[in-house]
Amino acid sequence: MTGGAKSPLVPNIAVAACPESVPFWELHNRRLLTVHCRLFARWASLVCFLTGACLGGPSSAQPAADRTSEQPGAFDFYLMNFTIAPSFCALSARYAEKQECRSTTDASFQDTPLTVHGLWPNRERVSVNLQPQYCEGPPLGRLSPPIRQSLVRYMPGVTDGLDRYEWRRHGTCSGLEAETYFTNVIHLAEWANDKIGGVLRDGGLLGRDVHVDDLLTAVAAKDPALAAAMIVNCRFSREEGTPSRAYIEEIRVVLSKNFQPEPAERVGFGQNSGCPNRAGFLPSGFARH
């Protein structure tokens, strides 16, 4: 969602964007989005009733991307989001049907344990729904063949259009050209797979429940600054007829604007995000039936 735009119908009322659907890679924010939108809708309905100002109706609303006033480059740090693909694909049958889940193999996961969700410009101590997004900028054009080839490996969601979505929503706010933005994404993915992915693969952490602190300690032995910048994110599987289980689904890294690791606590983040008892399951491969 974006904030700050003013309604042309009701002066001094900020418009909150409440899309009818959320892309599959953003469903981890859906609960917050739904609650926020419901509260806003109730409040807006009351204002409309009292003022009679709601003349345009839903059909007159502009897309969120057209209402943004965000300026490229106006942020404090990056949040780099890496996905544990088998965890993501195990969370729901809907995810499992995505091309990236159907085409990625156990061998490719072992080779590249961390794949890219996105590189997000962020502001310090600002809620998720007020972070920079949909800044002014062109749509994603044709990237050079070497960049495109590397993205297939490090960002397999390109088969489902993730690169276009991430560029439009987040990349445009970086202030970088698309080629430079995705070049940095690839370099960060190579670095993280060497440091963090190597610990997951060679440290015997795949295929079992892993304590967040054990993972951070193992990474700290290779790169203390990177370990301090990490946030381990867990989500629960919600499939009917199967026991709910906390999967380590994403590993996020706080980075300065020049792509150096920054302590997560400096920008207000804890290093455990949603992992019960500070632990979650790390699959060793894809559970396909």
**Domain range for residue 24?**
1-69
Same domain? 85 vs 225: yes
pLDDT, position 240: 67
Going by their DSSP bridges, the two strands 208-211 and 246-255 should be labelled as unpaired
Same domain? 102 vs 171: yes
**Does the residue 197 lie in any domain?**
yes
Same domain? 122 vs 222: yes
Same domain? 43 vs 160: no
Same domain? 199 vs 131: yes
User: Structural domain tally of the chain?
Assistant: 2
Residue range 37-49: average pLDDT? 44
Same domain? 63 vs 90: no
pLDDT, position 12: 33
pLDDT, greater one: 20 or 210: 210
**Does the residue 180 lie in any domain?**
yes
Same domain? 33 vs 131: no
Which tens digit of pLDDT belongs to each residue from 180-205? Answer: 999 999 999 999 999 999 999 999 99
Which tens digit of pLDDT belongs to each residue from 106-124? Answer: 999 999 999 999 999 999 9
Same domain? 23 vs 159: no
Same domain? 125 vs 218: yes
Angle at 131 between CA 127 and CA 132, to 5 degrees: 170
Q: Which of 49, 69, 89 is the last residue of a domain?
A: 69
Same domain? 52 vs 149: no
**Does the residue 273 lie in any domain?**
yes
pLDDT at 256 > cutoff 70: yes
**Does the residue 270 lie in any domain?**
yes
pLDDT, position 288: 61
Same domain? 19 vs 58: yes
Q: Which of 38, 69, 100 is the last residue of a domain?
A: 69
Q: What is the pTM of this model?
A: 0.76
Q: Which of 35, 69, 103 is the last residue of a domain?
A: 69
**Does the residue 289 lie in any domain?**
no
**Does the residue 100 lie in any domain?**
yes
Same domain? 29 vs 96: no
Please report, for the domain that includes residue 95, its CATH number: 3.90.730.10
**Does the residue 288 lie in any domain?**
no
**Does the residue 212 lie in any domain?**
yes
